Amino acid sequence: MLGIYFSGTGNTKYCIERFLDYYDGSEPISIESPDVIEAIRKSQNIVLAYPVYYSDVPKIVRDFIYQNRAEFKNKEIFIICTMALFSGDGAGCGARLLKKYGANIVGGLHLKMPDCIGDVKLLKRPLEQNKQLVKNAEIKIANAVNALKQGKSTKDGLNILCRAAGLFGQRLWFYRQTKDYTSKLKINHHMCIGCRKCVALCPMSNLSISDQKAVSGNQCTMCYRCISHCPQKAITLLGKEVIEQCLIENYL
């Protein structure tokens, strides 16, 4: 089975790695990799993993699916979604898009993981609680793989009730947050040291260096990768200061 994923702070990468460890021991590949399309062409069975933002698919993932829509025709796809609080139909959003392009959705799995939004204090959990979330997710992953091997796939987020929960729970109110890329990424130039780490990590090539300081464009996909890796904690998006750099390594 081919595993493909998008991950900001590492939650989703960790989950698909564990899924494949239990399934067949194969290694997943990022949608950012130049080799991913060729890998999709060679594979019939695919597990696609992505984080859920406001009960929706991240813009970068939606664009990836659309731009490569012909490659998904007749593929058997299992969807994994990671989330901090609530999704409803996170897997269903991706499933409907993939079905539109001829894919067959065989199952879905929702996994609650540590929150990646490091600049909003309200969303922070104690360290031990985050570690327990990761342990609980691994148990759920193992059970899902076992069910899949027995031909009884989990169907998280794929029915009409899940769709209603996702729509009325978040997506209806926050649709504009994920419809387009955002220009709201903020960089504190008094703190920035121009180390270029954020530039190298950005999946959208949205960051660059000008006058020895990082600057942002208007193509942020809200993955929080730069925010969680910045050594000076100089970058924010939704909040005004970095409360926690939410990397998966902190919770293992």
Look at residue 29 and tell me if it is in a domain: yes
Nearest CA to 96 out of 147, 31, 158 is that of 158
- What angle, 0 to 180 degrees and rounded to 10, lies between the N-to-C axes of helices 11-23 and 127-149? 40
β-strands 29-30, 2-5 pairing: parallel
7-17 per-position pLDDT tens digit: 999 999 999 99
Residue 165 C-beta-side C-alpha neighbours within 13 Å? 15
pTM score: 0.94
28-68 per-position pLDDT tens digit: 999 999 999 999 999 999 999 999 988 889 999 999 999 99
Together in a domain, 103 and 191: no
Whether residue 70 contacts residue 101, with contact meaning beta carbons closer than 8 Å, is answered with yes
CATH of the domain at 17: 3.40.50.360
Per-residue confidence at 222, pLDDT binned at 50, 70, 90? Answer: very high
CATH of the domain at 211: 3.30.70.20
Together in a domain, 10 and 88: yes
Domain region containing 206: 186-238
73-117 per-position pLDDT tens digit: 999 999 999 998 878 899 999 999 999 999 999 999 999 999 999
